[in-house]
Structure 1
């Protein structure tokens, strides 16, 4: 499978994600075992102190890890999260978050991934925001 076909597969699934569309997230990069998702700062992704909400951070980490796993899943299959654990490292306002998902191990039944979430400020400076570990399960595609 080529990176172009992996991107098409991921983008097709991503476009069906109502939450990602609502939050304004986008797919930045897809390769074998890798996916990068961006989330710009907006009033849709904030908590009461105007920083990025932990739920939004967790959501893009989950999606980045999930789509990294999807790049290695067999044709006709999707992936679903079985569990994930996230550590929030710092809070941020403004700019954009980037979640980079990587496959650690793709087994026959389970796929283990990680995701690093960074914040990119208006000047392009990058800072660590969160780290996640995730377990996925391949399931038949139902659409």
Structure 2
């Protein structure tokens, strides 16, 4: 096993190539086989007109967290791409940060089904569920 075969290293290497996540200040918090947790701090880069986290930012974070959970289950030398996802927004939140926890529901031979929960963590530590996502992923050859 090489270092890039380890789930955290595999995810971190791919994550660092994502300009959007770098621009927004997102970070990888935790990676295990079938699981990935990402964080996104509140800033004016990720808000909508009423100063809450933008749904697009929540959707992107959830998609990527679930996708990286799926990547930990994909064969060596492969990446994953999202085929589709469905998201439900549960609450609008300001300040603090978002935590997206992606989990593999089922890793099949051709597709991987994953889900993600997005929690808002306020500056005082209070947590609020703000979105849930389900997605389908497909493994594709890694091209970098």
Q: Provide TM-score, normalisation by structure 1.
A: 0.97
Kindly provide the CA deviation profile for residues 48-88 of structure 1, in whole angstroms up to 9, marking residues without a partner as x: 00000000000000000000000010000000000000000
**Once the 2 structures are TM-superposed, how far is the Cα of residue 5 of structure 1 from its aligned partner?**
1.5
Asked whether 1:70 is paired with 2:52, we answer no
**1:101-120 to 2 correspondences below 5 Å:** 101-120=102-121
Asked whether 1:54 is paired with 2:55, we answer yes
- Give aligned pairs, total: 142
Asked whether 1:41 is paired with 2:45, we answer no
Partner in structure 1 of residue 97 of structure 2 = 96
Give unmatched runs, 5+ long, in structure 1. Answer: none
Partner in structure 1 of residue 81 of structure 2 = 80
Partner in structure 1 of residue 8 of structure 2 = 7
Alpha-carbon distance in structure 2 between the residues aligned to 1:125 and 1:93: 12
**Once the 2 structures are TM-superposed, how far is the Cα of residue 97 of structure 1 from its aligned partner?**
0.3
SS of the residue corresponding to residue 91 of structure 1 reads coil
Partner in structure 1 of residue 140 of structure 2 = 139
SS of the residue corresponding to residue 62 of structure 1 reads helix
Give unmatched runs, 5+ long, in structure 2. Answer: none
The alignment's C-alpha RMSD in Å is 1.2
Q: Which runs of 4+ in 1 moved over 2 A?
A: none
Partner in structure 2 of residue 20 of structure 1 = 21
**Once the 2 structures are TM-superposed, how far is the Cα of residue 110 of structure 1 from its aligned partner?**
0.2
